């Protein structure tokens, strides 16, 4: 067995391994369809220091979005609806490598900045850690929503084109009613394609 053969096999393995990481990051899970549930919850997605304070969002857009987010939190409190924050932490080996290569190493498990931004730190009743864009991927959010008897989700946070979109689609795959607060989300790029995909899946924009 030649060195060239070994090197080629190693490169092929690395490509496949990283490709699987890319697939996992952007996949939308399909879980068990929920039954009748009467409760509602507010989901805060990725409102972490590393994204909110250091992300590609303008001060003006953050000011506008934060006002809507905090209004939604206040409304949830009045209605006794749980507020659930979802935090991103890249912890799968292949996704950690991809985060270092393509995402400036942001939100890797154990790194600074994965905590909620100060503006939102007192908002949640529950905090869930996700490993990929889809917050349902680990099953922890499924279990929490079942325990809380939640069948309707209102969603705010970032980024609409990635984690908000994938989480909303995963929720619809399970039968949740999903409303995305259009002015309570941020996106680094054009949102039209993501909005169209979500709307086609039954996500409501308010």
Check which CATH number belongs to the domain holding 70 and give it.
Answer: 3.40.50.850
Q: Is residue 169 part of a domain?
A: yes
> Is the pLDDT assigned to residue 9 strictly greater than 70?
no
The residue range of the domain holding 173 is 3-27+38-205
Instruction: Give the pLDDT band of residue 19 (cuts 50, 70, 90).
Output: confident
What is the Cβ-side half-sphere exposure of residue 107, based on CA atoms within 13 angstroms?
Answer: 28
Mean pLDDT within 37-61: 96
Q: What is the pTM of this model?
A: 0.93
Give dist(CA 154, CA 172) in Å, integer: 12
Q: Is residue 33 part of a domain?
A: no
Q: Is residue 95 part of a domain?
A: yes
Q: Provide the domain count of the chain.
A: 1
Residue 159 carries which DSSP code?
-
Angle at alpha carbon of residue 93, lines to 90 and 98, rounded to 5°: 65
- Coarse DSSP helix, strand, coil percentages of the chain, rounded to the nearest 5 percent: 45, 20, 35
Query: Residue 129 has what pLDDT?
Result: 97
Omega of the bond prior to 159 within 30 degrees of 0, cis? yes
Q: Is residue 18 part of a domain?
A: yes
Average pLDDT, the chain: 93
Q: Is residue 32 part of a domain?
A: no
């Amino acid at each position: 067995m030649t060195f060239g053969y070994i090197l080629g096999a190693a490169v092929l393995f690395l490509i496949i391994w990283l490709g699987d990481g890319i697939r996992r990051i952007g996949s939308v899970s399909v879980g068990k369809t929920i039954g009748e549930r009467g409760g509602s919850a507010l989901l805060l997605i990725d409102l972490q220091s590393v994204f909110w304070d250091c992300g590609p969002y303008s001060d003006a857009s953050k000011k506008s979005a934060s006002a809507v987010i905090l209004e939604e939190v206040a409304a949830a409190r009045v209605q006794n609806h749980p507020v659930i924050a979802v935090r991103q932490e890249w912890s799968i080996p292949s996704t950690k490598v991809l985060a270092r290569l393509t995402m400036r190493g942001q939100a890797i498990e154990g790194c600074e900045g994965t905590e909620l931004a100060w503006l939102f730190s007192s908002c949640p009743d529950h905090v869930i850690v996700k490993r990929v864009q889809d917050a349902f991927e680990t099953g922890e959010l499924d279990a929490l929503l079942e325990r809380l008897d939640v069948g309707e989700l209102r969603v705010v946070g970032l980024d609409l084109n990635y984690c908000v979109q994938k989480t909303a689609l995963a929720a619809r795959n399970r039968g949740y009613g999903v409303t995305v607060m259009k002015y309570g989300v941020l996106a680094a790029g054009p949102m039209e394609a993501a909005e169209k995909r979500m709307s086609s899946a039954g996500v409501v924009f308010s």
